[in-house]
Amino acid sequence: MERVLVTGSGGFIGSHLVKFLKEKGYWVRGVDIKYPEFSETKEDEFLILDLREKVNCLKAVIGVTKIYQLAANMGGMGFISSNGLASYETSLKINMNMAEAADWEKARILFSSSACVYPTNKLDIVNPLPIKEEDVLPAMPNEDYGWEKLTAEKIYQAYARERGLDIRIVRYDNTYGEEGTYKGGREKAPAATCRKVLEATDKVEIWGDGEQTRAFMYVSDNNRGTWMLMESNITEPINLATQELITINDLTDMVCDIAGKKDLKKVHLLDKPQGVRGRLIDTSRAKFLLDWEPEVSLRDGMERTFKWLKEEINGTVL
């Protein structure tokens, strides 16, 4: 059995990726500063380690051939818009340490970057053109989180260029699904919308005017694409996303329909952060080089997410 490491495996994407890799037959070590919030650990070995300390990164990589580097300090729009220092202080330290550790162990490393690296001037309209990987320069991300991710990409590319580190870089765009954070400030739009609709009796709050557009990728499509990239020989950054663009107003209507609450009134909070106006990510490189395309429609994925969250909330004292 090939031995692999998933850092950040206590988080949403990481915990799902562990399950996916176990089903593929890998021996998996997980590392995080916390256990998964909504599921049991599925790893063969789970270590509680603070990866801001280089010695812990060296411990984490011992004996593995591949590293999925998902560890980061992040959340939804409410978190990243007001926690820039947290992104830099935590995530950049982790990525410097993990690049060094991967080089020391001579292991292949995949870095989970973000569509937030793309320039704001290409994302300031509701219906933007699909943005390609090469559009990242000249750089002008919207938030510190995007600058941190882009800087980390450059760190890994420098290690590859100067030390021969075997790297993969994936840029995720709005991954969602079951067992994700849905309250507390770090939740993202799909889970937050499901929670608001579930709790609502007459109205549901929306940040901004609700006409900002996004595309959301279900977590199983994320897992499959991430694994395919890791197993490929592609070292340039790859986008993973869907082309199913939707406004936040229409996403809310979709969840209201799923919940059977079509009469809820939308209340728009114009003083709340809403990020870029629109974002649509081009995935032609992933389709051509990996033969990857998303398989789960937004409606299907939101129905699964809503069903899980309804069961979770009904068993939780709010």
157 half-sphere exposure, CB direction, 13 A CA radius: 13
Largest CA distance in the chain: 60
Rounded to the nearest 10 degrees, the angle between the axes of helix 93-105 and helix 144-163 is 20
Q: What domains sit in the chain, N to C, each tagged with a CATH number?
A: 3-175+216-240 (3.40.50.720), 180-215+244-277+296-314 (3.90.25.10)
- Position 75 scores a pLDDT of 62
**How far is residue 36 from each of residues 10, 42, 227, 266, measured CA to CA in Å?**
4, 10, 20, 33
Task: Of 172, 122, 155, 175, give the one whose Cα is nearest residue 286.
Answer: 172
Instruction: Write the single-letter amino acid at 67.
Output: I
Tell me the C-alpha distance between 242 and 244, whole Å: 6
Rounded to two decimals, what is the model's pTM?
0.94
User: Taking a C-beta distance cutoff of 8 angstroms, is the pair 175, 219 a contact?
Assistant: yes
- Position 317 scores a pLDDT of 45
Task: Divide the 318 residues of the chain into consecutive groups of 10 and give the mean pLDDT of each group.
Answer: 96 96 98 91 94 98 98 72 77 96 98 94 82 95 90 98 98 95 86 95 93 95 98 98 96 97 94 85 97 98 96 72
Helix (H, G, I), strand (E, B) or coil at 306: helix
User: Taking a C-beta distance cutoff of 8 angstroms, is the pair 152, 95 a contact?
Assistant: yes
Question: Is 218 an annotated catalytic residue?
Answer: no
Angle at 294 between CA 98 and CA 129, to 5 degrees: 90
The one catalytic residue among 26, 68, 118, 145: 145
